[in-house]
Amino acid sequence: MTTDHLTHNGPKRHMRHAASKVPEVTVYFWIIKVLTTGMGETASDFLAHWLGPIPAVGLGGIALVAALAVQFTARRYVAWIYWTAIVMVSVFGTMAADVLHVGLGVPYTISTPLFMAALAAVFALWYRSERTLSIHSVHTRRRENFYWAAVLATFALGTAAGDLTATIGLGYLGSAIVYAAAIAVPAVAHRRGSLNAVTAFWSAYVITRPLGASIADWMAVSHSRGGLNLGLGPVTLSWTVAILGFVGYLAASRKDVQNTPMP
């Protein structure tokens, strides 16, 4: 699934814009995406235990708003700005799903389809307004609003879905295996020509959330819960270091900077 496919999946009239606000889709994109999902999962749980649920949600919300404000202010894609915003979406998206379940008692069997409907609504409004869901058409403020609304919905949906499968008998490791297999489906379907690039991209994007979160939870939770018992803090720290390493490399190499389409 290449950047060119994602870029040219919409009408040509959408190509006359300034520099893109999103990265080029490379293998580094998917690696960092999975890392941010896992780090967001354990960081959210760590902060909730350390600060308490209400202060943690408040702090997460403030940090998310600040990160998105910087992202929206930037005139083009900047690796550390973009991925900081993604990390904060991951943390707050986890908190949003957990608040529904833990705080309000909404079961995952209800919150999962609820977030799925929310994501579908965002996509419907986005397509109705812009006639494309390609992430490489994100050159205007309105499209950027739709993009980040979709990203936030995918993280909340992925969190709820991952927790749902983990609590119905699969466990964290079993869930990770299931989602690892599931993420190959849109990739194979796109390669065989039976799924267009944009649909394949967003399908894989949603699945990366429960995949990364399930792996991170499996590493962090106790042996009695089927995990490696490494702890929330150490797993959060190690995944954060990995994210910083990859983002630092991309910032220096600029391998994920999209070539701006010409008018």
pLDDT at residue 70 greater than cutoff 50: yes
**Other beta carbons within 10 Å of 217:** 27
pLDDT at residue 260 greater than cutoff 70: no
pLDDT over 90, % of the chain = 64
**Residue 65 phi/psi, 5° resolution?**
-60, -45
For residue 56 the two structure tokens come to 């943690």
Nearest to 17 by CA among 107, 173, 139: 139
13 pLDDT band, cuts 50/70/90, is: very low
Q: What is the pLDDT of residues 83-142, one digit of tens each?
A: 999 999 999 888 877 777 777 788 888 988 998 999 999 999 999 999 999 988 888 899
- The stretch 37-41 carries a mean pLDDT of 93
Q: What is the pLDDT of residues 164-220, one digit of tens each?
A: 898 888 899 999 999 999 999 999 999 999 999 999 999 999 999 999 999 999 999
Report if pTM > 0.85.
Answer: yes
Rounded (10°) angle between helices 232-253 and 197-220: 140
pLDDT at residue 2 greater than cutoff 80: no
Taken in order 34, 163, 63, 66, the sign of the CA dihedral is positive
pLDDT over 70, % of the chain = 91
pLDDT at residue 4 greater than cutoff 70: no
The SS3 assignment for 176 reads: helix
Q: What is the pLDDT of residues 137-179, one digit of tens each?
A: 888 899 999 999 999 998 888 888 888 898 888 899 999 999 9
- CA–CA separation, 216 vs 35, rounded Å? 9
- The pLDDT score that the predictor gives to residue 65 is 96
Q: Which long-range contacts (CB under 8 A, 24 or more apart) does 220-225 make?
A: 220/42, 220/45, 221/172, 225/171, 225/172
Q: What is the mean pLDDT of the chain?
A: 87
One-letter identity of residue 49:
H
User: Which has more confidence, 33 or 262?
Assistant: 33
pLDDT at residue 35 greater than cutoff 90: yes
- CA–CA separation, 83 vs 218, rounded Å? 24
pLDDT at residue 238 greater than cutoff 90: yes
